[in-house]
Amino acid sequence: MARITASVYTSHVPAIGAAIDLGKTQEPYWQPLFKGYEFSKQWMKDNKPDVIFLVCNDHATAFSLDMIPTFAIGTAAEFIPADEGFGPRPVPKVIGHPDLASHIAHSVIQQDFDLTIVNKMEVDHGLTVPLSLMCGEPDAWPCPVIPFAVNVVQYPVPSGQRCFNLGQAIRKAVESYDEDLNVHIWGTGGMSHQLQGARAGLINREWDNAWLDKMIADPAACAATPHIDYVREAGSEGVELVMWLIARGAMQDVADSARSVSVRHRFYHVPASNTAVGHLILENS
Ligand code: DHB
Ligand code: FE
C-alpha cells in the first residue's frame, strides 16, 4: 500500500527561480534565503520519496479567465515548464505518475470532492520554484510529481476548511493504492504578500510566525481561518496559504489524534521579492 510519510511547505516566489537560474544564490540579498534550504536539500536526498504530490497554484499560465478549475489534478505522463514571459526556466521537465494520479482522482471524486482532470498542462513558478528550492539543480527531478492546482487567483477561491478536508480525502486515496510507494505531499505558496493596490508590499512577520506555530500544533485552527483574515493580515496573495492546508490535512495526526507529526525543519525569511518566505518539513513519526 502507498503511504504519505512527510509533508513539505514552502513559498514559491518567481524571483527565487530567477536567482537560481542566473547564478545569484550567493549574492548578499539571496544568500540567507538559500541557506534556509540547505538542510532541506540534504533531507530530500536522505528521504527520497517515490512520488511527490505537489499542491500548487497556476498563475494564469495553464488556465485563464476562460476556465477556472477550483481543484485540478495533473494526470499526464509529463509536464513542461511554461514560458512566463522570459522563456521557460532551464529546469528538467516534470515526470508525472498517471496511474497514481488517476487512482487519486477516482478515490477523491468518490469521496465527494469534484476535481478537474488535466491530461495536458504546462507548469509555472508555482510548481518549479518549490522543486528547485528542495532539489537544487539536478539533470532530472528525483521522482515523479503529481501536480495538483488550486485556484487561489480568482475569487471565489476554496476555503481553508475545504482544503483541509480535501487533504484528508487525499490521504485515504493514497492509502488505498496497491503499490508500495513512499509519497510526500507538498503545500506551496504564501506566506504574507500583496502584489497590487494600496497595500502592495505588505508583510506580516508576527501573523506568519503565529501561523507556522498553529500549522504544526493546531492545524484545525488554521483551517477555520476565514478568507477575510488572510487578506487583512497576510495580504491579498497571502490566501495562497490555503494550499498548505491540503498537505497538512493529509498528515496522520489529523486522521488519528493518538498519532503525531514531528517537525524536521522550520525556516522564515523576509524579504524575497515582495514575499515573506516560510518553510516547514513535517514527518509522520
Ligand atoms: C511574487 C510572489 C508570488 O507568489 C507570485 O506568484 C508572483 C510574485 C513576488 O513576491 O514577487
Ligand atoms: Fe504566487
Per-residue pLDDT of the chain (285 residues; tens, 9 = 90+): 999 999 999 999 999 999 999 999 999 999 999 999 999 999 999 999 999 999 999 999 999 999 999 999 999 999 999 999 999 999 999 999 999 999 999 999 999 999 999 999 999 999 999 999 999 999 999 999 999 999 999 999 999 999 999 999 999 999 999 999 999 999 999 999 999 999 999 999 999 999 999 999 999 999 999 999 999 999 999 999 999 999 999 999 999 999 999 999 999 999 999 999 999 999 998
pLDDT in tens, 54-77: 999 999 999 999 999 999 999 999
Protein residue with its CA nearest to atom 1 in ligand 1: 13
Whether the Cβ atoms of residue 133 and residue 22 lie closer than 8 Å to each other: no
Could you tell me if the CB of 14 is within 6 A of ligand 1?
A: yes
C-alpha 13 to ligand 1 mean position (Å): 5
Report the CATH number that the domain containing residue 161 is assigned in CATH. Answer: 3.40.830.10
Spell out the SS3 assignment of 119-160.
CCCEECHHHHHHHHHHHCCCCCCCCCEEEEEECCCCCCCCCH
Number of domains in the chain: 1
Could you tell me if the CB of 278 is within 6 A of ligand 1?
A: no
Residue 56 pLDDT:
98
Residue with cell 514552502: 10
Enzyme catalytic residues: 125, 193
Protein residue with its CA nearest to atom 6 in ligand 1: 13
C-alpha 95 to ligand 1 mean position (Å): 25
Ligand 1 atom nearest to CA at 190: 4
Ligand 1 atom nearest to CA at 125: 6
Q: How far, in Å, are 51, 72, 210 from residue 278 at the CA level? A: 23, 24, 12
Q: Which of 166, 193, 188 is nearest to 249 (CA)?
A: 166
Range of the domain at 242: 3-284
* Alpha carbon distance 188, 61 (integer Å): 17
Could you tell me if the CB of 17 is within 6 A of ligand 1?
A: no
Ligand 1 atom nearest to CA at 189: 4
Residue 262 pLDDT:
98
Residue 285 pLDDT:
84
Pocket test for ligand 1, best of 9, 11, 13, 86 (most atoms within 8 A of CB): 13
Could you tell me if the CB of 162 is within 6 A of ligand 1?
A: no
Residue 30 pLDDT:
98
Beta-bridged to residue 280, according to DSSP, are 9, 266
C-alpha 175 to ligand 2 mean position (Å): 30
Could you tell me if the CB of 273 is within 6 A of ligand 1?
A: yes
Could you tell me if the CB of 236 is within 6 A of ligand 1?
A: no
pLDDT in tens, 197-248: 999 999 999 999 999 999 999 999 999 999 999 999 999 999 999 999 999 9
* Alpha carbon distance 193, 128 (integer Å): 19
Kind of pairing between the strands at 94-95 and 261-272: unpaired
Is the full-model pTM beyond 0.85? Answer: yes
Could you tell me if the CB of 44 is within 6 A of ligand 1?
A: no
Whether the Cβ atoms of residue 74 and residue 206 lie closer than 8 Å to each other: no
The residue type of 143 is C
Helix and strand element counts for the chain (H, E): 11, 11
C-alpha 126 to ligand 1 mean position (Å): 9
Ligand 1 atom nearest to CA at 240: 4
